[in-house]
Chain A
Amino acid sequence: MAFLSAHFVAIVFYVLAVLAVAGGVGVITFKNPVHSALSLLGTFLMVAGLFVLRHAEFLGAVQLLVYAGGIMVLFLFVIMLVNVRRLSPDAAFLSRRAPLAVLSGVVFGALIAFGVLAGSLGHPGGGATALQMVQGHVMGNTEAVGWTLYRHFLVPFEIVSVVLLVAMIGAIIFGRKDAGLEGRGGRMEP
């Protein structure tokens, strides 16, 4: 009991982390795309748990709302609409790109390692309330994220939103009926 209460956070962390990684492995090993999508959903939920564990409650809730509740639903929607039950039997159709995948994986891993290293050097010992500070007061993660985004990073934030808007308009233009895909059964009718 004493061990449990002393290491509670660590135990929860390892359970969540192991399940998150297991979900990630599941995404690439399952043959059925819906099972893969469900594994990814599991990973998203576990990562949301990790955010909450690190006192980033806002990020956790947004992870739940946007990734688990929005993006994955659209993934599943598309998978079901084209109704793929199994991946194509010759698994070789992706293997030509394997070196490229390994390369991008290594680069991505190095980036993350660099980020972690830089983060641990730059802010030694942030503490439990570091993600909830607003101008020196402990308020809450939502307030802290809001202040940081809208005070210190307003211009990058707005630029990102314009980029997203452009992407959205682009998607609408590509998806329009007269874009040339009509007549080949490409029209969506849920």
Chain B
Amino acid sequence: MHAALIQFIVIPVVKIAVILGVVLLVVAYLTFAERKILAYMQVRLGPNRVGPKGWLQPIADGLKLFVKEDLIPAKAEKAVFLLAPAMIMIPALLAFSVIPFAPATKLFGLLPKAIPPYVTDINIALLFVLGISSIGVYGIILGGWSSNNKFSLMGGLRSAAQMVSYEVPMGFAIIAVLLMARSLSLVQIVKAQQAAHLWFFVPGILALGIYFICGVAETNRNPFDLPEAESELVAGFHTEYSGMKFAFFFLAEYTNMLVVSSLATIMFFGGWLRPFPNVAWLSFLGVVPPVIWFAVKVAGFIFVYMWFRGTFPRYRFDQLMQVGWKWLIPLSLANLVIVGAGVLLVKG
């Protein structure tokens, strides 16, 4: 009983606490990174007052949002208005329950036997993440609707149309990876890339492109940030939100970016594997812990997100729909046929 208690209660709870803490901290610092990177791209300094070189800025922002007055509009649909921020934050965080950051480890010999540092490895992990992130759209739709504000409603409607449209090519792009890995488990997908001596972005370069474009659209980021287009919708679905509830929307956006980037890393760039994992003379790269390789690759995708924001203008809504339905869906279907034929030829 004692051993079971440790194995089924204590270890998972510790893992969940650590992962939640790290993810939230990273997310807070992503906002800082974004402001610094944008400032660099626009030849400004960016935040530099709070702490050395501005490094305490996210903490100050968090405190500010925490103590700010929390307004609920008089005409708002109160129950749904309160529910919406939770409905966007919970799915975003839940996705991290299946994301494998690193293989089973002894933590440099601190533990008696190797335990995996991720919460769980289920054999439908990829579908689970897709499903969970498709639940996240409710936070936006309901937030926009319950605010009882034209602009917010518009933002919510735009978001619904956008997310439903871009989920389809995203799913098709992921199926291409599925064909190559022959498993829905994220751990197995990484191991398949090790076994194939090839990261999947080489055969799946088109799938990677489609996946990442759809990922940007799914997270409502520039150039697909129409749900919150501040020049036309005054911040869209979260216009009426303030204080901590606004912070939830804000953090959920960055958490979702982290989820999309982590999935891209796992599916196309070998997850925690070092570059060229099967080349013997590069084995000195193995001194860097796997979790660092994972973090570096994820950081690369996050940087691309911010790069997009710094360089692209926003699409018009009809252009957004055209890109989704007339370009990405046919392209992802064609890619599926090509990858399928390739898998059939190689593996027989």
Binding site for B on A (CB under 8 A): 1, 32, 34-35, 38, 41, 45, 48, 57-58, 60-62, 64-65, 68-70, 72-74, 76-77, 80-81, 83, 140-142, 190
Q: Contacts A57-B123, A80-B145; is A68 near B134 (CB within 8 Å)? A: yes
Sort A-B residue pairs by CB-CB distance and give the 8 closest, nearest first: A69-B134, A64-B131, A61-B127, A65-B131, A77-B160, A57-B124, A61-B124, A190-B157
Residues on A with beta carbons closer than 8 Å to the beta carbon of B153: 80, 83
How far is the CB of A186 from the nearest CB of chain B, in Å? 16
Q: For chain B, give the interface size range.
A: 20 to 34
| Interchain CB contact under 8 A, B135 and A64 | yes
| Interchain CB contact under 8 A, B80 and A34 | yes
Q: Which chain B residues (48-83) contact chain A, with CB distance < 8 Å?
A: 77, 79-80, 83
How far is the CB of A35 from the nearest CB of chain B, in Å? 8
* B324 interfacial by beta-carbon distance below 8 Å: no
For this complex, 14 residue pairs linking A to B, each with C-beta atoms less than 8 Å apart, are A35-B80, A62-B131, A64-B135, A65-B131, A69-B131, A69-B137, A70-B164, A76-B142, A77-B161, A77-B164, A81-B157, A83-B153, A141-B123, A190-B161
| Interchain CB contact under 8 A, B131 and A68 | yes
Q: Which chain B residues (119-141) contact chain A, with CB distance < 8 Å?
A: 122-124, 127-128, 130-132, 134-135, 137-138, 141
* B297 interfacial by beta-carbon distance below 8 Å: no
| Interchain CB contact under 8 A, A76 and B141 | yes
Residues on B with beta carbons closer than 8 Å to the beta carbon of A80: 141, 144-145, 153, 156-157, 160
| Interchain CB contact under 8 A, A65 and B80 | no
| Interchain CB contact under 8 A, A65 and B134 | yes
Expressed in whole angstroms, the Cα–Cα distance for A165 and B212 within the complex equals 28
Interface of A is mostly: helix
Q: What 20 additional pairs, Cβ within 8 angstroms, besides A61-B127, A74-B160, A141-B124?
A: A1-B1, A34-B142, A35-B80, A57-B123, A58-B124, A61-B130, A62-B131, A64-B131, A64-B135, A69-B167, A73-B163, A74-B164, A77-B160, A77-B161, A80-B144, A80-B153, A80-B160, A141-B123, A142-B184, A190-B317
| Interchain CB contact under 8 A, A64 and B164 | no
Q: Contacts A73-B160, A73-B163; is A142 near B134 (CB within 8 Å)? A: no
Residues on B with beta carbons closer than 8 Å to the beta carbon of A45: 135
Residues on B with beta carbons closer than 8 Å to the beta carbon of A76: 138, 141-142, 145, 160
How far is the CB of B228 from the nearest CB of chain A, in Å? 15
* Closest Cβ neighbor of A41 among chain B residues: B138
Q: Contacts A34-B77, A73-B164, A76-B141; is A140 near B317 (CB within 8 Å)? A: no
* Closest Cβ neighbor of B317 among chain A residues: A190
| Interchain CB contact under 8 A, B130 and A65 | yes
Residues on B with beta carbons closer than 8 Å to the beta carbon of A35: 79-80
* Closest Cβ neighbor of B144 among chain A residues: A80
* Closest Cβ neighbor of B133 among chain A residues: A69
Residues on B with beta carbons closer than 8 Å to the beta carbon of A70: 134, 164, 167
Residues on A with beta carbons closer than 8 Å to the beta carbon of B158: 190
Residues on B with beta carbons closer than 8 Å to the beta carbon of A57: 122-124
Which of A62, A73, A81, A140 neighbours the largest number of chain B CB atoms within 10 Å of its CB? A73
Which of A32, A34, A69, A141 neighbours the largest number of chain B CB atoms within 10 Å of its CB? A69
**Cβ contact of B131, chosen from A41, A61, A190, cutoff 8 A:** A61
Residues on A with beta carbons closer than 8 Å to the beta carbon of B145: 34, 76, 80
| Interchain CB contact under 8 A, A68 and B135 | yes
Residues on A with beta carbons closer than 8 Å to the beta carbon of B127: 58, 61-62, 64-65, 142
* Closest Cβ neighbor of B184 among chain A residues: A142
Q: Contacts A57-B122, A190-B157; is A77 near B132 (CB within 8 Å)? A: no
Expressed in whole angstroms, the Cα–Cα distance for A111 and B158 within the complex equals 40
How far is the CB of A75 from the nearest CB of chain B, in Å? 10
Expressed in whole angstroms, the Cα–Cα distance for A88 and B54 within the complex equals 56
How far is the CB of A129 from the nearest CB of chain B, in Å? 13
| Interchain CB contact under 8 A, B134 and A64 | yes
How far is the CB of A55 from the nearest CB of chain B, in Å? 11
Expressed in whole angstroms, the Cα–Cα distance for A108 and B175 within the complex equals 36
* Closest Cβ neighbor of A70 among chain B residues: B164
Expressed in whole angstroms, the Cα–Cα distance for A7 and B158 within the complex equals 46
Expressed in whole angstroms, the Cα–Cα distance for A74 and B157 within the complex equals 10
Residues on A with beta carbons closer than 8 Å to the beta carbon of B131: 48, 61-62, 64-65, 68-69
* Closest Cβ neighbor of B148 among chain A residues: A85
Expressed in whole angstroms, the Cα–Cα distance for A74 and B162 within the complex equals 11
How far is the CB of B97 from the nearest CB of chain A, in Å? 13
* Closest Cβ neighbor of A139 among chain B residues: B123
| Interchain CB contact under 8 A, A77 and B157 | yes
Expressed in whole angstroms, the Cα–Cα distance for A57 and B183 within the complex equals 14
How far is the CB of A143 from the nearest CB of chain B, in Å? 9
Q: Contacts A57-B122, A190-B317; is A64 near B128 (CB within 8 Å)? A: yes
How far is the CB of A54 from the nearest CB of chain B, in Å? 14
* Closest Cβ neighbor of A59 among chain B residues: B124
How far is the CB of B73 from the nearest CB of chain A, in Å? 15
